[in-house]
Amino acid sequence: HVPGTPGGLRETTLFLRRPWWAEHYGVMEATCAVCTLDPARTNDIPEGYLPLRLRWNGVAEVVMRLRPRITVERMPDGSPWVSFMKGPKVMALASDSDDMDGEFADAGRMRHLATGPLRPLVSMPIINGNPVKACAQVSRPYVHGLTVAATDVSGRTMLFDMHAFSSMHGCRYSVYLPVADDGNVCALRAQLADIDARQAASEQTVVDTIACGQQQSEVDHRYSGDNDMMGADGTLHWRRALAGGEFQYAMRGRGQAHRLEIEVIADSAESDGENAAYEVTLDGLPLQRGEHRRIDGDPTAIDVYPLPDAIETAETAENIENTGENDNADDAAIVRISASAHDGAKITAL
């Protein structure tokens, strides 16, 4: 609304900000006024603003039309996954709400982060070809969200309604969807099935794993630290203990594992490769590195720490609990990473 003053016709230039997420931005309606683009001012105003020349008498009303832009974002590592934004909102595809007993976001710290069993990737809908066209060619666009055409697990092309991620509650969801850019949906689904198979095989041999520097995984494993830091080198997230600092996690399956593998960014370890640039304890028991693996050209290396057998580990854990070192009542073992005189290695995974 633009108020008027006595004296008849008035004229001025309005500078209206154009939101980055809007397309087809312009005047939809002008009441009691003439509103046109001011070509004389298009070159001397900040980027992102629209100069409008307004002539009005009395009280004028200018209504602008803003259509949200559909944006497709790919994974930074080039893998075949895409996410969608409608205007400023990240979109997500809702899934089921089964097996979620106890998943309630109460007032506890980080309790808004979801846990619980995941679903196989092979069952996800796959976008066939250009993801932009998967939205643009839909005949029934979802006004409050986004409708995407994708191929379901049976091979049929279906329409899937995506909702604003911020509105998701009480269900599983996918922010990223797989995309077959070359149109070979069957090949991509076979890749997803292979990932599922390898994950299932890993779950049979790996007791627990932690992705260091990544919020979800660290919260799941009750991270705590003192004088440490987190960061990322490209797509590699890490956490390191600074000089005199430490951090720790609660790893599941005390007494069940036979070795602990720690992945580090190779350049952050000691150059001679003989000694790890950090110390490790399991429930207070110092561990000695038994093997150091690195492939030439690989940015990461693996340090392997043999663990005491299940009986010895359980007895050690019991003694430590009696002294108050470990206050966990469940089957979790406390893995502590520390650094002494110098900053420790950048650790990406345990």
3-state secondary structure at position 222: coil
Q: Which residue do the tokens 């599983």 mark?
A: 172
**Shared-domain flag, residues 313 and 344:** yes
Question: Using CA atoms, how far apart are residues 329 and 321, in angstroms rounded to an integer?
Answer: 9
Burial classification of residue 229, based on how many CB atoms lie within 10 Å of its CB (0-12 exposed, 13-18 middle, 19 or more buried):
middle
Question: Using CA atoms, how far apart are residues 89 and 92, in angstroms rounded to an integer?
Answer: 10
Residue 3 resides in a domain:
no
Taking residues 131-135, what's their average pLDDT? 82
Read off the tokens for 155: 């091979």
**Shared-domain flag, residues 299 and 219:** yes
Contact yes or no for 138/161 (Cβ under 8 A): no
Residue 343 resides in a domain:
yes
Last residue of a domain, which of 20, 40, 68?
68
Question: What pLDDT sits at residue 111?
Answer: 63
Residue 210 resides in a domain:
no
Say which DSSP state 201 is in.
H
If one counts every other C-beta atom within 10 angstroms of the C-beta of residue 50, the result is 18
Residue 4 resides in a domain:
no
Question: What pLDDT sits at residue 4?
Answer: 55
Read off the tokens for 72: 């497709």
Question: What pLDDT sits at residue 271?
Answer: 40
The most confident of 138-142, 146-150, 276-280, 320-324, by mean pLDDT: 146-150
Domain count across the chain: 3
**Shared-domain flag, residues 119 and 135:** yes
DSSP 247-296: EEEEES-TTT-SEEEEEEEGGGS-TTSSS-SSEEEETTEE----EEE--T
Give the helix ranges, DSSP H, for 88-214: 131-136, 185-205
Residue 252 resides in a domain:
yes
Residue 320 has pLDDT above 50, yes or no: no
Last residue of a domain, which of 46, 68, 90?
68
Sort residue 294 into left (φ over 0), alpha (ψ -120 to 50) or beta. Answer: beta
**Shared-domain flag, residues 199 and 246:** no
**Shared-domain flag, residues 174 and 230:** no
Poorest-pLDDT segment among 67-81, 138-152, 183-197, 331-345: 138-152
**Shared-domain flag, residues 54 and 81:** no
Contact yes or no for 210/229 (Cβ under 8 A): no
**Shared-domain flag, residues 257 and 165:** no
Residue with more model confidence, 233 or 36: 233
Residue 1 resides in a domain:
no
**Shared-domain flag, residues 229 and 324:** yes
pLDDT, tens only, 225-238: 998 998 888 888 99
Question: Using CA atoms, how far apart are residues 340 and 346, in angstroms rounded to an integer?
Answer: 14
Residue 142 has pLDDT above 60, yes or no: no
**Shared-domain flag, residues 276 and 297:** yes
Question: What pLDDT sits at residue 137?
Answer: 58
If one counts every other C-beta atom within 10 angstroms of the C-beta of residue 272, the result is 6
Of 340, 337, 341, give the one whose Cα is nearest residue 349.
Answer: 337
Where residue 285 sits, what CATH number does that domain have? 2.60.120
In the chain, pLDDT over 70 holds for what percent of residues?
77
Domain residue limits at 87? 70-205
Say which DSSP state 211 is in.
B
Residue 14 resides in a domain:
yes
Of 260, 263, 209, 244, give the one whose Cα is nearest residue 344.
Answer: 244
Contact yes or no for 147/161 (Cβ under 8 A): yes
Residue 305 has pLDDT above 80, yes or no: yes
**Shared-domain flag, residues 167 and 284:** no
| Terminal Cα distance for the chain, rounded | 60
pLDDT confidence band for 323 (50 / 70 / 90): very low
Taking residues 241-256, what's their average pLDDT? 86
Read off the tokens for 42: 């298009």
Question: What pLDDT sits at residue 6?
Answer: 55
Contact yes or no for 347/258 (Cβ under 8 A): no
**Shared-domain flag, residues 75 and 180:** yes
Last residue of a domain, which of 47, 68, 89?
68
pLDDT, tens only, 273-301: 445 688 889 988 899 888 888 877 778 88
Question: What pLDDT sits at residue 3?
Answer: 59
Whether the CA torsion 104, 105, 110, 112 is positive or negative: it is: positive
**Shared-domain flag, residues 96 and 166:** yes
